[in-house]
Amino acid sequence: MASQSDSNKGVQGGAALWHGRFAQAPAQELMEFTQSLSFDRQLWPFDIIGSLAHVHMLGVTGVLSSGDAATISEALIVVRSEFETDEFVFLDTDEDIHTAIERRVTQLCGDVGGKLHTARSRNDQVVTALRLWCKHNVAQLTQRTLGLVDTLVLRAQQAGWDQDGIYLPGYTHLQRAQPILLAHHLGAHAWSLLRDVERLQQTLERLDVSPLGAGALAGSSLPIDPVLSAAQMGFAKVFANSLDAVSDRDFVAEILFDIALLGTHLSRMGEEWVLWTTEEFGFAQLDDSFATGSSMLPQKKNADIAELARGKTGRLVGNLTAVLVVLKGLPLAYNRDLQEDKEPLFDSMNQVSLALSALTGMIASATFNPDVMAQAADAEALAATDLAEWLVRQGMPFRQAHAVIGELVRVSNDTGASLKSAAAAHPSLGAEAAKLVGAGVGVRQRKSPGAAGPAAAWAQQQLLRQEIDRLRNISA
Ligand code: ARG
């Protein structure tokens, strides 16, 4: 970049794409403020795919001679190899990745390069490249999310879905509620992630529309064929309205929502791991390679991955908000504001991908403490609902049974007497009912469809595996 003192002389070293209309070169301040090259260079593979498809279409439709189309295509392929080998040289005058590539093509093939942009605007070019980027990256994100699901399912299987499975207290209001299988708890997170995968796949299907050929806003007077270029790029559909094609960023907002919700799920999971690995809970330990220490406190072993999975969600939600606010006041069609779609999108995609990988490794390598979990879940009070339901089976209305057992719990809390012996001595309960209070008994009572005990687990496992296979087949 030219130095500040040169600013009023404008940018040196090349002409802006639109130079014909202007007597002065663009000012330094303008370039610094309006450039997007610093963040859109990662679009290069997709810009080249778009340009190759466009040139191919121009050649087939006769808008360009086949010789010119071939010359430009060859230059584009040279440019691609320059990027691949990290030899591509950017200039100060390159405003964004799209102008940089067109500039280089023209350097390579001379005046013919000036025909690349025939019947095309950066407005349709930019959004074409961005949709291609999304198709690639959303597909990868679904795979990565399925990777975490696989890890949860594997850990669930190791924890056991059967009678001997590891169990822990299930919580409501973060107060111990009823014993549940650890596999069931891990499975719950798997289900939420599977909905994220499905949501991303639906977003992917909706965004699979080529906008190329919409031009600046209204199409072209030249005999172009947008269907042909769309097919060339592998898009499933083609735009029907040129104004909509260049101004629609619904797909960006949708992906950002999908990621914000996925991040919210990771955040909730992270919060539990922070709790589980405290000395107070003691339900799990992290592998050293997935834990962090303190710079001052030698004894510390911290769950920073889990905390950051929680913390990063702030910016994922912020990125969604940023794009919605950019979009909300825009008149049709393209406005430069739309350039602000990229940084939030790239940031969210990057951060959620990192979070998924780190959490996957953390969960895969952690150790559970079944004895600590069982001890917490075997607390007598967690059998209270089963005692009430025993009374229901004897014909007592549930509300009355609830009151009877509530009083039993209160008295046992006040006197320190065991709930089991209090139940055995109670006139409405007795020895048979008291058997419901005991180590490992409660989890086996959770047997209704979809419930947290081993009796219902087989059906859930089947459904879980079916859903994973179904979504993996769509993603493949
Ligand atoms: N870098 C810009 C973007 O990402 C390119 C579009 C510029 N178009 C224009 N008409 N100035 O949106």
pLDDT at position 1: 38
Residues across the chain: 476
Nearest CA owner, ligand 1 atom 4: 339
Phi, psi (degrees; rounded to nearest 5) at 116: -60, -35
CATH 1.10.510.10 fits 4-118, yes or no: no
Q: Given this chain, do its domains 4-118 and 124-375 carry the same CATH topology?
A: no
H-run or E-run covering 44: helix 44-60
**Ligand 1 near 96 CB (within 6 A):** yes
User: Could you give the CA distance from residue 182 to residue 168 in angstroms, rounded to a whole number?
Assistant: 6
Residue with tokens 């950017």: 90
237: left (phi over 0), alpha (psi -120 to 50) or beta: beta
Q: Which two tokens stand for residue 122?
A: 């950066």
128 lines ligand 1 (CB under 6 A): no
What are the backbone angles phi and psi of residue 69, rounded to the nearest 5°? -60, -40
Q: How far is the CA of 340 from the centre of ligand 1 (A)?
A: 10
Q: Which of 5, 38, 173, 221 is catalytic?
A: 173
- Closest by Cα among 145, 253, 152, 254 to 203: 254
Q: Is 265 in the pocket of ligand 1 (CB under 6 A)?
A: no
Residue for token digits 């790239």?
346
DSSP state of 25: P
Instruction: Give the pLDDT of residue 16.
Output: 76
173 is catalytic: yes
Task: State both tokens at 107.
Answer: 């350097």
How confident is the model at residue 210, as a pLDDT? 99
43 lines ligand 1 (CB under 6 A): no
Q: Which atom of ligand 1 is nearest to the CA of 334?
A: 10
97 to 49, 63, 102, 172: CA distances (angstroms): 13, 25, 9, 51
The class that CATH gives domain 124-375 is: mainly alpha
Residue 126 Cβ inside 6 Å of ligand 1? The answer reads yes
What's 238's DSSP letter?
A: E
Would you state the pLDDT for residue 336? 98
348 close to 259: Cβ distance less than 8 angstroms: yes
Task: Please check whether residue 174 is in contact with residue 280, taking contact to mean a CB–CB distance below 8 angstroms.
Answer: no
In the chain (476 residues long), the average pLDDT of successive 10-residue segments reads 38 65 92 97 98 98 98 98 98 95 97 98 98 98 98 98 97 98 98 98 98 98 98 98 98 99 98 98 98 91 97 98 98 98 98 98 98 98 98 98 97 94 96 97 96 94 97 92
pLDDT for 254: 98
CA distance 370 to 443: 14
- Would you list the domain boundaries of the chain? 4-118, 124-375
Say which of 65, 81, 294, 421 is annotated catalytic. Answer: 294
The string of DSSP codes covering 164-223 is T--EEEEEETTEEEEEEEHHHHHHHHHHHHHHHHHHHHHHHHHH-EE-TT-TTTT--SS-
Contact by Cβ (8 Å): 373, 168: yes
Mutate to test the pocket of ligand 1, among 122, 127, 346 (most ligand atoms within 8 A of CB): 122
C-alpha of residue 339 to centroid of ligand 1, in Å? 6
Q: According to the model, what pLDDT value does residue 14 have?
A: 54
Greatest Cα pair distance, the chain, in angstroms, is 100
Residue whose CB lies within 8 A of the most ligand 1 atoms, among 46, 96, 103, 121, for a mutation test = 96
Query: Which residue has the CA at smallest separation from atom 11 of ligand 1?
Result: 336
- Give the whole-angstrom CA distance, residue 134 versus residue 140: 10
- Ligand 1, closest atom to CA 97? 1
